[in-house]
Structure 1
Amino acid sequence: MSLQKPFHIAAFVLTLGTLSYLASALWSAIFIVPLPMAPDAVVDVLETEGPNGQLEYRPIEFKNRLEELKYFHNVRMKERNGYWVWGQIIIGLGIGAFCFYYLPKWRSIVPERADHAGIGIGAAFLGLGTTLIFPMILSFLLPAPYKWFPQEIVDIADLREAAELERLITIAEGYDNWVNQVD
């Protein structure tokens, strides 16, 4: 593959971008299970000044223990999504560098006078842009994944959400029973 051939770039962007979009949709359906919270779940918040001088809001009191557990569960899911994004960045950089730099170099089809550093950096950033930007474009153009995913995947996502909610309810009830015994 060559960065000088628009067909190679277009094929790369369409293939890797579509695969990245499908992987992200599948990842979020199965491994990132946010739980819906009640609109009045947070009773009190603490305002603090962040490192950039912006106000940050941190909940300090919740409507009940279950809503508090849901909040912290959703925070963990947001962190997990951050790990996924970093994984996409690394994979995109690696695949771009492999397809447009290492593979042509290995097959000895890179011109002798080529700027190897420029090709490698351009290839890596093409992969990065493809894995991050193209899936965002597809998400605006296509309907939500739950509308076109196979029903089995939607069922798995629903079951994971129900199981996690049941687990949090059990923890909240156990905490409430423990508090009532202490009193």
Structure 2
Amino acid sequence: MLRLPPASHAVDRSQMARRKLQKRAFNDIDRGALGGLIFNARRLHSLTQAEVAAAIGRDRPWLSDVETGKITFVPDDDIRALAHALSLDAQQLTATRDNVRKHAAAGAVALGRRLACQVCGHSNPDDANFCSNCGTQVFADVECPACGRLNEAPANFCTNCGRPLRGRLEPRAHAHL
């Protein structure tokens, strides 16, 4: 007699299959220059993300975000710790980080970067003070006073170091007003 798995197992399998389709293939991840350098060095030393993260005093998701290019600003202390843990040259890592940030900034200018309204989502010119669709005041990115990371204007805490951004919520691009 053929025994079928309970219906809940069938659902679990279909969800897993769907998730596998949605995930990027391991080699398809665009790691960027900094993330690729760190990823390759970690793999060369046969270390896990958790091992490297523990060695530098960070958590594994943070290291994963650096390796996949989600985080491009890595503070100097972390650069030195990564260089030590992975036997890399700290100056090379710093230069790679700085080069990535320069290219990202140049790309934003070349694309005519626009500000999205936090209320209606309308795309406004970079120099806009108010949304042309609903009239709400729009803000540019806010720089963290502690680490220099650019955060979206509505953020209350830095996405890099976790420090509060309150008191610096005036728009960075319009600070001269």
TM-score (normalizing by structure 1): 0.22
TM-score (normalizing by structure 2): 0.23
- Asked which structure has the greater RCO (Cα within 8 Å, sep 6+), the reply is 1
Which is helix-richer, 1 or 2? 1
